[in-house]
Structure 1
Amino acid sequence: MSPFSRRVLLRSAAATALAVPAGALIAQQASAGSPSQPKAAGLPLKIVNNSGAYDNASIHLYIVGNDGTNQCYVTPEGELRQVQLSDNGPDGYTDYAISLSGNETTVQLPEMSGRIYVSCGEKLKFKAVGSEQGAALAYPAAWVESDPNYPVVHDCAEFTYKGGAMYCNTTMVDMFSVPLAIGLKGASDQTTGTLKPGARAGIFDQVKGVEAFSRLVIDDKRVIAPGHGIGAGLFAEDYFASYIDEVWSAYQGKDLKVTTNAGDFTGRVAGDTLSFTGPASVSFSKPTTTDVLFCDGALAAPNDGTTGPVAAILGAAFNRTTLLSTADQPTTDPAAFYQGDLTHHYAKAMHAATEDGKAYGFAFDDVGGFASYIEDGGVKEMTLTLTPFE
């Protein structure tokens, strides 16, 4: 697993922003120099509109994130600038939109960590907050009905570009709306995130067809991830409770083996605690449905080389509902994932929709290499494609 995998990377760029998405932004801080000065030509980022639903004039691009110290945005000219409170206009919001033109729009991407947002039909409302010395952005939270961006069709990809290397992914951790594919050219040609023909509509239909998940579908705008659905009152906060209880009961009487790069861990449940022996002694309290869906709380993964890797594998196994069927984790056969009626049907739909079977349906979806994530240490070009709205 790459040290730049999404759950390691995606944290601090929006850490001081309001309404920060569950995925947050890429945390590995890129050294980008002074954010207020024009940068030398960066990485060519090509934006291709194959949506079939929106013309170029209706699509707006935003590149926002951090330079390792400050929250920043990228201008149409490829300059990295620090967010300022004075960026807010008369309506109270910034306008960092980059317009599309022609079959391909190319923007020079500076070294930074962040997100590439696309909005369709309307511009997004990013608000600069805080102080002039440390201004941050309030990011869109489209799972919150009162958020000003709730009516807008939009989505994003995430990246860190540093030292000539690119680490990037498409993400459905918070929601799914706009079909996006990413590609890198450098040491090799790579793509991920491409949906099968008709898959956008298929995702909406598949999620809507499962009663427990059906309210997560918001018209034809987006499908909200179930973790956010709990906060919005659209998803049961005890959805995984019976499965969690069964797992806890099963491993009171048998061992659970978890294999990590640090070595093998063997665990047993006693009371409300799952304890492992191995390269280190690590333990986990009994998680809640919210912990499972956000891969946090009792399943939080610190960057300590022992508890973190075990937590990630447990989180993936809970979300993929493989813990009862397999006592040797991680499970690497995707045919075994999401079986039965009580499973993560949102993540299941996302993986079924992509051409390569990879998606970021939850934060630990990189376990086993099933995430829509690619990297290149000598990248020459990046492409973000809006694929058909079918």
Structure 2
Amino acid sequence: MTARHQRGLSRRKLLAALGGAAVAVPAVAALAPHALAGPAAGDDAAEPAAGGLPLTIVNASGSFDNASVHLYIVGNQDGRQVRVTPDGTLAPVALADNGADGFTDYAISLSGSGETRLSLPYMSGRVYVALGRKLKFRAVTDGNGDAALQYPAGWVASDPNYAVLHDCCEFTYNSAGMFCNTTMVDMFSVPLGIRLTGAKDQTTGTLRDGGRAAAFTAVRQVEEFAPLVVDDTRVLAPGHGLDAGLFPADYFAPYIDEVWSTYTGRDLTVATDAGTFTGRVRGGRLTFDGPAQVSFAKPSTRDVLFCDGGLAAPNDGTTGPVAAVLGAGFNRSTLLGASAQPTTDASAFYRTALTNHYAKAMHAATEDGRAYGFAFDDVADLASYVQDTAPTGIRLTLTPF
């Protein structure tokens, strides 16, 4: 089976379209690379779902009653921006949906008590939950002249949803199956767990008892990361913190310099499905030989946190997979501990003082140790991701705070 980090498109490039601005590309941009493994738009994936997939929402938060929970299912189908209505049908995003306040009201209310049962049609997108207050999605015109949504950006202080307690999970549901994950790539706020049934019975994302508070505390305890904690509302991912001036732009610089120095005099090998690449720093670039020659300029801290820029991963089967492994190695601080990558033993991750303490805290908070703390956290299969090619139902649970 193809390793997840060696499949599909780069998650971080696609996420760039969702940073609080109009979504100028289909909302599949919200999804992890492996969630795009099914048929592409234009084939069977664009056909309506027969009956849809049963989606059950369970409010076990213990802090908010059902009347205080607002649900949004938004995304794309066959290149169109769409949303799911309370009766489980797809409706196109329309500028006319903006109300007098300039925002749409696409909220789906939960049942008065107990579980809420919905039907999920074929689409790719996100399930948002907002607690206490509704989210403000604005319908706008994108660069192609089509109606699109401005998504919440909880990491931007000026965003109209900044004060709203909210979070989301991501999915693609099509004729190939269901591919879904919980995500902390941008921020962490509301504890969510996924149970996917079908050919198998799988769960992911569930926090251990006290996991939310423990994650907030762990991030607060590291000086450089402490400003990322926004009251008791959310913890920002350090990349977004850097962009907001809350995180040092040179945080990873000493580690990056040491990696470049180390692999000037010795080989670094990276194993991928395309074969093994062997590299050294030559002329200031980390250059690999193997199935193809690929090379990387010395990345910045921002490149490491977003797994982009100097660590950009095109969907070419060679540079992309190597970049993914390097991105994971920097964030987990494993590149100096082993010259053969990827490191797959999770006990070796985050062992140095200079590491991604945000991602470390997210993994420590979950029952299964899986989380999406950065864009290529699926390297070595450590992401909070599940898939099923014959799904019978999906259950999203707001777990205790």
Match of residue 125, structure 1, among 136, 143, 147: 136
1:305 partnered with 2:317: yes
Match of 1:315 in 2: 327
What whole-Å deviation, never above 9, does each CA across 1:319-355 have from its counterpart, x for those lacking one?
Answer: 0000011100000011110012111000000000111
1:162 partnered with 2:171: no
Q: What stretches of structure 2 of length at least 5 have no aligned partner?
A: none
Match of 2:121 in 1: 110
What whole-Å deviation, never above 9, does each CA across 1:173-212 have from its counterpart, x for those lacking one?
Answer: 0000000000111001000001000010000000001001
1:287 partnered with 2:311: no
Structure 2 residue identity aligned to 1:360: Y
What whole-Å deviation, never above 9, does each CA across 1:226-283 have from its counterpart, x for those lacking one?
Answer: 0000111110011000100000000000000000001010000023200000000000
TM-score by length of 2: 0.92
How far off its partner does 1:9 sit? 6.1
Match of 1:25 in 2: 30
Structure 2 residue identity aligned to 1:229: G
How far off its partner does 1:19 sit? 3.0
**Contact 2:278/2:290 (<8 A) preserved:** yes
Match of 2:395 in 1: 383
Aligned pairs, number: 388
Structure 1 residue identity aligned to 2:82: C
Whole-angstrom distance in 1 between the partners of 2:398 and 2:8 = 21
**Structure-to-structure mapping, 1:34-73, within 5 angstroms:** 40-73=50-83
Q: What stretches of structure 1 of length at least 5 have no aligned partner?
A: none
**Contact 1:32/1:111 (<8 A) preserved:** no
Whole-angstrom distance in 1 between the partners of 2:362 and 2:174 = 29
Match of 2:370 in 1: 358
Report the 3-state secondary structure (helix = DSSP H, G, I; strand = E; otherwise coil) of the residue aligned with 2:224. Answer: helix
**Contact 1:30/1:113 (<8 A) preserved:** no
**Contact 1:351/1:357 (<8 A) preserved:** yes
How far off its partner does 1:14 sit? 8.2
Please give the root-mean-square deviation of Cα atoms over the aligned residues, in Å. Answer: 2.4
Give the 3 Å change call, closer, same or farther, for CA 15–210 of structure 1 in structure 2: closer
Give the 3 Å change call, closer, same or farther, for CA 3–327 of structure 1 in structure 2: closer
Give the 3 Å change call, closer, same or farther, for CA 191–6 of structure 1 in structure 2: farther
How far off its partner does 1:2 sit? 3.8
Whole-angstrom distance in 1 between the partners of 2:360 and 2:352 = 11
**Contact 2:18/2:151 (<8 A) preserved:** no
**Structure-to-structure mapping, 1:164-183, within 5 angstroms:** 165-183=177-195
Report the 3-state secondary structure (helix = DSSP H, G, I; strand = E; otherwise coil) of the residue aligned with 1:212. Answer: coil
TM-score by length of 1: 0.94
Whole-angstrom distance in 2 between the partners of 1:345 and 1:23 = 28
**Contact 1:65/1:115 (<8 A) preserved:** yes
How far off its partner does 1:82 sit? 1.1
Whole-angstrom distance in 2 between the partners of 1:316 and 1:12 = 18
Counting aligned pairs with the same residue, the percent is 63
Match of 1:98 in 2: 108
